Structures are given as C-alpha cells and as structure tokens.
A = this chain, B = another copy of it.
Amino acid sequence: MDEKELFKGYRGAALEALKQYNAYIWSDVELTTDESTFIGLILPRSEQQDEFHIVIKLRTGYNIGVRASKVRDIKINGRKEAHYKIPEKEFPYSPKMPRVMLFGTGGTIASRLDYRTGAVIPAFSPGELYGSVPELADICNLETVKLYGVFSENMGPEQWIGTAKAIAAEIEKGVDGIVIGHGTDTMHHTAAILSFMIQDSPVPIVMVGSQRSSDRPSSDAALNLIHSVKTAAESDIAEVMVCMFGPTSDMYGILHRGTRVRKMHSSYRSTFRTIGDIPLATVNNQSIKPLRSDYKKRRNDRNFKLVPYFDDNVAIVYYYPAMHPDIFDSLIERGYKGIVIAGTGLGHVNKPVYPALKRAQEAGVAVYMTVQTLWGYAQMYVYDTGRDLMELGVVPLANMLPEVAFMKLGWALGQTHELDKVKEIMLTPVAGEMTEREPSNGYLIFQGGIPEVEEFISTIKK
C-alpha cells in the first residue's frame, strides 16, 4: 500500500503523530493522552477534514477525535481493516413494482455512503443499497440521485429550493413516491419548508435519516430506510413526512407530518416526536397503519403546486428573562424582514423590549409570536401582556412550532414583502402547521415520575 493509502486523509500534525508512533489507518491501538487512554481502530479521514485530529473508532462503536498535539503514546496491538466495502449487486427490476426515487442530501442515513468521519466507503447507488439492504428489492424499483452532500446544519435556501424542484420534476415524470435522505439535525426544518414548497403532492414525500451510523450494532439506518422506502412505494398518505424510529424498541417506525415534528433528543434513535398532535401512522415491514384519517391521499394525477421561494432575512428570537431591547434593534438595523419570537407561556416578553417592537413595527418588520413551551397555543387575548404585544403588531401563530414558523415566514417573505399579504400567508394553514385544537393524547408523558406508566412501560419493553 502506498503512503497515501496508509494514512488516508491525514495531513499536518495528525499525520506527523501517526508516523511518530508507526501507526496508520486500521491500526488497532491504545492511544494515550495526558487525560485518558483510548482503545480502538484508527479510521481514515476524508480530504476536507482538519489536520489536527486523529479519529479512533472506540470499542463502543463511537468515533472520537483526539487532538494530535495531546498524544503522548500510541501502542499498536494489530491491524483490523473493517470491511465496509458493500457487495454491489444489480438492483433487480420488477415491472409490477412501484418506482421510488431516493434523493441524497447528506447526513447519517448515507452512513455507509457518505459518513461524516470519512471512515466508511460510500454506498448510495441502487446496487450498493441492494447489497447492503436487500429487503429494498421486495418493495420497489429504486433509483437514486445525490443532490447534495452537506451536514444538515449547513442546509439552506439553495438546497431547499433545489430539493423542491428536483421533487417536482420527479413527480412530473411519474414517480410513485420519493425518499429524501437527510441529516437529522435539521430534518424537521427541511420537512417544514418542503411542506410549503410542494403543495398537494399526488405521492408520498418521505424524509429519512439515522441517528446511529450503520457500522454500529444499534444502527437505525437500515430499518429507517426500509420503512421510508415502503412508505414512499405503498402508503396512501401523500404528504411530506418524516419517517424515523418509533419507540425505544425497534418494533416500528413513525410517520410524522412534516410541519408538526421536532428533533427532541440529541442522541436517541427515537428522537423525532410529533408535537401537540398525533403522528400520521406507524410503519413496520409488514404494513403502514394510519393513526388518523385526516390526511391527504395518494392520487394518480400529476397535479401539485410548486412554490420554491425563501428570503433568509428572518430570525428566531428565543425570549429569556431580562432581555434587552437591543436584541430587536440589531435585527431592525441590519435589515431583517421577519422575526419569529418564541415567547414564554402563552406568548409573552418583558416590558423593556416593547419600544423596540414598536420600532420594528415602524420599520415594517413582520413580527410573529410562537411559544417556547413547544406544546400549546400562543393565546394573546388572555393577559394584558399579550394584548399589548398585539397592539405593537405582533401576530400570534396559534400552535405553529417556532422552527416551522421561521421556515414559513422566510417562505412568505420570499413571495412578497407586503406585510398584509405576508400575514395572510402566515395565518392560512397550508399543511397542518396550525390546528384548531390539540388532541387530548397529543401531549408528552414521562416514564419517570408516573409510577404506573413506568411499570407498564417496563412490561411492554420486555
């Protein structure tokens, strides 16, 4: 193997450190720093990554980056090249099966594909996916197109608009369902904007990702992929949805409406949760079971509305006590056109910021109110605080989630800067982003603190 292969992706300080201790990629090492010792495999890196860290796959399956300057010793215990190469087989074509398009944007679902650490051989073509998850061939004829390869926190208007247009083109070409592989961090943001940009789709549009990469034993990648592809191919629900891991066991996935879902845990697989509503359906490898009937149904026509606009001069202001008015003044001065406040309680902020909100109103900035409790409604008629804020032009958005309100406001301002028209757009529900009431079973409950439930959960977990 030539040196480039031996130290794949390493340069600068990290490369020096490896050479010093005769370590190279796939070395099974015991690496010591002043603080700790790490045992695991040295992973290759991709070209774009920094030159300061050595990345080790720990025995737990987690990858960790160790700063080269902190390395005090590396003991070599062997070499174990991981077999990440996917056996590629031709994806079988079956004329009776529905046609599904999988768009890649980046993120962990592409974890044998495009994995962030660079450790994993990409696997994204239909043939590679078939080699990796053969169940897919029992569901559909799969095609794949990589639209982007960005971490989801870097998704922005360019990618949202590009994805919406790619979806539109596929619908017109007659696809039966669409799957979008996406990093999980901002998957709910993208689900919201696609819900606004592609209206009345005749086919399911299913977003999917994974919280744990497919080289870890507890990976949710394959299961989520099977569930999402099944939904795209077979579901009667023609909405923009997020398809992710359901409960803590792997019994089923959940289909969440794109405008009512939020990432609620930084690392759990069951991170996506429908907020203030009930999910659309559960899905397993046998069937898709709707949990409600008020969804938009699959159609055979090719009619839909594409509204691919976004003005990113919009901000979320997350209220905290003792907030100074300069938070709003800065946004006004810098030319922001829209502000979504996530207020406390029913939609409140403190009195000292009122004058700045008045200045926002005078400057023609569109200001909307959501609640940072996440569950429940902005109800600004109840207290004087709310009524005062409405006098200042702040418009409550019922139970629209702060992130969804942000995406909708950028989308509305992308279409018009006339405040009356923006308001009309904001207050007209497009895809379930505001609902008349919260179902009684839409609130979260906790395992902890409710002994009866805790006991019950422990029985169904077995």
Contacts and interface: CB of A to CB of B under 8 A. Distances in A.
Nearest to A458: B441
Nearest to A116: B383
Contacts of A117: 383-384
Contact of A156 (B278, B321, B387, B450): B321
Contacts of A456: 453, 456
Contacts of A442: 446-448
Contact of A348 (B185, B279, B319, B453): B185
A457 interface: yes
Copies of this chain per assembly: 2
A248 to B, nearest CB: 8
Interface in A212-246: 246
A371 B453 contact: no
Interface residues of A, number: 105
Q: Which of A248, A445, A448: most chain B Cβ within 10 A?
A: A448
Nearest to A344: B185
A349 B153 contact: yes
A302 B262 CA distance: 46
Nearest to A380: B65
Interface stretch (A26-34, A130-138, A310-318, A355-363): A310-318
Contact of A50 (B186, B263, B322, B387): B387
Interface in A8-35: none
A83 to B, nearest CB: 23
B282 A449 contact: yes
Interface string A291-308: 100000000000000000
A52 B376 CA distance: 27
B377 A266 contact: yes
A382 interface: yes
A112 interface: no
Given A315-B320, A382-B62, A263 B373 contact: yes
Contacts of A267: 346, 376-377, 379
Nearest to A63: B382
Contacts of A344: 152-153, 185-186, 263
B318 A189 contact: no
A174 interface: no
A249 to B, nearest CB: 10
Contact of A185 (B63, B64, B345, B453): B345
Contacts of A451: 282
A322 B264 contact: no
A291 B448 contact: yes
Contact of A376 (B268, B278, B319, B373): B268
Given A50-B388, A152-B344, A263-B344, 18 more contacts: A65-B387, A153-B343, A154-B321, A154-B350, A155-B322, A156-B321, A184-B345, A186-B321, A246-B449, A246-B450, A247-B445, A248-B443, A254-B449, A264-B444, A265-B376, A266-B347, A267-B376, A439-B448
